[in-house]
Homo-oligomer: A and B are copies of this chain.
Amino acid sequence: MKRQTKQRDLVVTALTKARGFVSAQALHASMTHSGSTISLATVYRALTDMVGEGDVDSLLSLEGENLYRACSSNGHHHHLMCRECGATVEIDAKPIEEWSRAQAAAYNFTDVEHVVDIFGLCSQCA
């Protein structure tokens, strides 16, 4: 069965404290900086599990790195993220969902999922 450990709690705490999306490495670094001795592998494992359980949201940066964030809204949604500071706005996009479905149907694609994210500079970083 699944167990609640100190390490996982720390990851949750650290992730909650982060403003926006952060990489596993960055999260580990900040935790280490705060005195924790958690291992990088454990951070990865915790994040992966949490994503699977829907408690954490993840996306691929433009460089192909996985970024994580504590979910604020449940369910499917998209992101508008500052590529400088990681600040993120969650946006839900009904038109996109419908458009995606329609496109897939038009070409007889099934079992579809989509990636829709916007990256830019927020007003503070611009």
Contacts and interface: CB of A to CB of B under 8 A. Distances in A.
B82 A109 contact: yes
Interface string A82-126: 100000010101011001100110011111111111111111001
Contact of A120 (B99, B104, B126): B104
Determine how many copies of this chain the complex contains: 2
Interface residues of A, number: 34
Given A64-B66, A80-B103, A103-B80, A119 B112 contact: yes
A60 interface: yes
Interface of A: 60, 62, 64-66, 80, 82, 89, 91, 93, 95-96, 99-100, 103-104, 107-123, 126
Given A100-B118, A109-B120, A112-B121, 6 more contacts: A95-B99, A104-B120, A107-B122, A109-B123, A110-B120, A112-B118
